[in-house]
Amino acid sequence: MNLHCFVTDTQNPHIRGQQIGETWAAQIGKTVALYLDFFNQVGVSPEQVRAIGEASLQALTEWSPSLAQELVATAEGAGIPLWQLASLNARTEILAVMPASLEGECSTAVYAPAGLESPKTIQTWDWHDSLVPHGMLLQLTASSGITVKLFTELGMLGKIGVNSAGVGLHFNILHHASDNAIAGVPVHAIARRILEEATSVEEAIALARSARVSASTVLTVFSHRDASPRAASIEMSAAGIAVVLPGEDGWITHTNHFLDEALSLGERTPDASTTYARLAHVNAARVDMIHGDLNRRAAAMCGAAGDEAPICFHPDLSMPATERWETLLTIGIDSEHGVLEYAAGNPMLLARDGFQRF
């Protein structure tokens, strides 16, 4: 995955969308084409893709007009039909109508104890290697005046990031029996709005609760400030939203299954998924993940197994593209300084070769 950086200081969502669309038209167009083909390969018809994309855009327009305006302007700037870019941003909502995959995407660990110590975080982003030739690191200024730094796929409103108010956010997909085709607000847009507006974990939770969703996701949010709560995993589904708080030791970890007792009754991730093994692995590694910088945290997250640890995905090129997974990114969030620390690849590659800061 090639990572591109873009910084814009306009607070006007239309201008920002045009800038992004015009600057990255080729990459956005490629990403859209790859996803449309992928949807077809996994059995979601073009008609259903378009219907969910357009309905999700309508839900977004009602929930956050400014983000909808940016999406429209991005499509215009990139010269892409609006329904296609809307479908890209609603990719989680579209994939929610297909059978749950045997794999998930992402393992997250956040250490946010009470007190003045800065949170320590790390996440792997695991996804289909064929879908993401390009990724974006974007810095923007929201209408609130808050500065946001985030990682996302080209043409997509948001994913993982941090803001100048000291709030950071990690992102994992979930699967629930209530997932449906009645398109809700795109979960990637919910992550983006939290980064633009939230100055505390409580505000992030309130924003997530205000959105109607049709696909399941967990947003793990945390704050540099010593507040209560200082961190939380916000598990979202059409059946409801639950908040999972850190343990007494300050740790909160998540992979791709529900942890809330009530929502877990509707769990739709197959028992054969690696999500359970990955969570057990991360939890066992926590004692060694408290100390040092992101390099040490990444090495500790893998442990003695190195890049053969269950949190590291390697694409099997003998498999169809729809069944290949790769750890495309390892990322930590410095919420004290508002910085993303990252490397394209799995945690052992980061531990060996170092990371970049954005």
Residue boundaries of the structural domains of the chain: 107-357
**pLDDT given at position 116:** 85
**pLDDT given at position 323:** 84
**Residue ranges of the chain whose pLDDT lies below 50:** none
The closest of 85, 98, 100, 107 to 27, measured between CA atoms, is: 85
Domain 107-357 sits in CATH at 3.60.60.10
Cis peptide before 46 (omega within 30 of 0): no
Q: Phi/psi of residue 181, each to 5°?
A: -95, 5
Helix H, strand E, coil C: the string for 248-283 is CCCEEEECCCCCCCCHHHHECCCCCCCHHHHHHHHH
**pLDDT given at position 357:** 97
**pLDDT given at position 103:** 64
Beta bridge partners of 357: 341
- Report d(CA 281, CA 260) in Å as an integer: 19
**pLDDT given at position 316:** 86
Task: Determine the 3-state secondary structure of 33 from DSSP.
Answer: helix
**CA 61 to the chain's CA centroid:** 21
- Report d(CA 229, CA 221) in Å as an integer: 10
